[in-house]
Amino acid sequence: MNTILYIFAIIQCLLIIYMGFSVIYLFIFAVAGLFNHKIVRIKINKQKKFIIFIPAYKEDEIIINVVTDALKQNYPKNLFRICVIADKFKNETINKLKDYDIDVIIVDFENSTKSKALNFALKNYTDNQFDIGIILDADNLMEPDFLTKTGEIISTEVKIIQGHRTAKNKNTAFAILDAVSEEINNHIFRKGHRSLGLSAALIGSAIGIDFKLFKQIMPTINAVGGFDKELELKLLKNNIKIEYEPNAYVYDEKIQNSNSFSSQRKRWLSAQFYYFKKFLPNATYHLLANGNINYFNKALQMFFLPRVLLLGISFIFTCLTFLINPLIISISWSIIFTLIVLSIIISIPKKFYNIKFFYALFSIPKAFITLFLLLFKIKNANKNYIHTQHSINNKNK
C-alpha cells in the first residue's frame, strides 16, 4: 500500500509541475490579452491585388453561397480574384461555379489534404500576379471590409496576418462551447501574445499573406493535418512574425455535436503532438543559438493539453487531494484549478455570458471525457485526412 501511495505521489508531483507551468503560461497571456497592441497601418498609395483561395472537399451544399458571399467584398472587383479548389465535387456543382467570374480548379487527390490543394492551385499563378493571398475554409464568410483591412496591414514589414475568426453559428451546446474556445484562443494566443510583442498564432483560415512569400513557402509544406501549424512553425523559424487584426472578421461554422467534436479534436491533437516532437529540438537550438523566442514559443505550445483537459484534471485532483493528500499538495492543485478558471473567465468576451452559454456548460463533462479518451486513440491519426462536413451558411445563426 505504501508503495502505491508513493508512486501516486510521484505522479502527482510530475503532473503538478507540468500542469502548473501550463496554466501559469495561459494565465500570463490571458492577462496580457486585456491590453491592446498597436497595429501599424500603412497609407495605401496603390490598392493591392488579392487572390482568395477556398480549398473545398465535397462541399457541394455550401460552396455556392460561400462564393456569392465572397464576391460582396467592398473592394474594387478588378482587384480581387476568387479561386475555388474543388476536390471531389459533383459535376452539377462545378457547372454552377463556372457561371461566376471566378477561377475553378478541379482536383481529385487519392489522399486529399489542404496543403496539396493549395500547392496545386498556386502553380497556376505567377509570383507577380497578386500582392496578397487569402486563405479561407469552405464554410468561411468574410465581413465586407476584410480585404480592405488586410491590405492596410500587410507591407514590407508585415508579411502575414491572422484575421479574427469567429463563430457564425451558436445553435447547439457544442457549437457554443466551440465558439467560446475559438474566442479564448483569439484572446490568449493572438491578442495576448501580440500585446507582449510575440507572434500571433495561425488558425488555418482567415489568413492574409504576402503572395510571393506564400508561393515560396507552400511547396515546403505537405501536412496531412495541422497545415496551419506547419506553416506557422516554418515562418517563425525564418523570423517572420505574424500579426493579428481583431477587427478583420471571418465567420466560421462551429461543430454541432459530440461526434463532430471527437473527429475534429482527434485530428487536432494528433497534429499537435506530431509537430511538438518534430520541431521542439530544432526550435530549442534556434532559441539558444539565435535567440528565436517566437519559434521556440510555438513549439512549446504543442506540449500543452487542451484547456478542457487541464480544467477537468485539475478539478478532479483538487477534490481528491483534500481527502487523501498532504495540505501542500491540495493547495497546489487548488492554485492550478483557480488559475485555469481565471484564465478562461477573463478570456471570454462579455457577449457570451448569457443563459445559453450557462446551459452549454453542462456539456463540458462530456467534452472532457471525449478528449481524455482521444488521448489513447490519436496514434497515426495525423497520417489520415479527417473531413468535417459543413452545412450552415448564415452569419451568427
pLDDT of amino acid 343:
97
Least confident of 9-13, 37-41, 324-328: 324-328
DSSP SS3 for 364: helix
Higher pLDDT, 45 or 237: 237
Average pLDDT, the chain: 89
Task: Please report, as a single letter, which amino acid is at residue 197.
Answer: G
> pLDDT for 150-196, tens place per residue?
999 988 889 999 999 999 988 899 899 999 999 999 999 999 999 99
> pLDDT for 323-362, tens place per residue?
776 777 888 999 999 999 999 999 999 999 999 999 999 9
pLDDT of amino acid 342:
97
pLDDT of amino acid 385:
56
Q: Is the pLDDT of residue 273 over 70?
A: yes
**Structural contact between residues 118 and 98, judged by C-beta atoms closer than 8 angstroms:** no
pLDDT of amino acid 13:
86
Residue 8's pLDDT band (cuts 50, 70, 90): confident
The CATH number for 99's domain is 3.90.550.10
CA distances from 187 to 9, 31, 180, 181 (A): 35, 9, 11, 10
pLDDT of amino acid 5:
67
- Calculate mean pLDDT across residues 233-262: 90
Residue 200's pLDDT band (cuts 50, 70, 90): very high
Q: What angle do CA 90, 252, 135 make, to 5 degrees?
A: 70
Rounded Cα distance, 29 and 348, in Å: 13
Rounded Cα distance, 214 and 197, in Å: 23
Least confident of 193-202, 206-215, 275-284, 384-393: 384-393
- Calculate mean pLDDT across residues 262-290: 87
Least confident of 22-26, 77-81, 210-214, 305-309: 305-309
Instruction: Kindly give the pairing relationship between strand 160-167 and strand 207-210.
Output: antiparallel
**Number of C-beta neighbours around residue 364 at 10 A:** 15
Q: Is the pLDDT of residue 384 over 90?
A: no
Say if pTM beats, i.e. exceeds, 0.85: yes
User: Of how many residues is the chain composed?
Assistant: 397
Tell the residue number behind the cell numbers 483591412, with chain if given: 149
DSSP 377: T
pLDDT of amino acid 249:
97
Rounded Cα distance, 221 and 226, in Å: 10
Rounded Cα distance, 242 and 162, in Å: 7
Segments in the chain forming alpha helices (H): 2-32, 63-70, 91-97, 114-122, 146-151, 173-185, 193-195, 211-217, 227-237, 258-290, 293-301, 307-324, 327-347, 355-360, 364-374
pLDDT of amino acid 52:
98
The grid coordinates of residue 177 equal 462551447
Please report, rounded to a whole number, the percentage of residues in the chain having pLDDT higher than 90.
66
DSSP 87: E
pLDDT of amino acid 44:
62
**Rg of the chain over all Cα atoms, to the nearest angstrom:** 22
Strand order in the sheet with 141-142: 103-107, 80-87, 50-57, 132-135, 207-210, 160-167, 243-252, 141-142
- Structural domain count of the chain: 1
pLDDT of amino acid 45:
61
pLDDT of amino acid 157:
86
Q: Is the pLDDT of residue 372 over 80?
A: yes
The grid coordinates of residue 336 equal 492550478
Q: Cα 362 from chain centroid?
A: 24
> pLDDT for 111-123, tens place per residue?
888 999 999 999 9
Higher pLDDT, 271 or 355: 355
> pLDDT for 227-240, tens place per residue?
899 999 999 999 99
Q: Is the pLDDT of residue 259 over 80?
A: no
- Calculate mean pLDDT across residues 272-293: 92
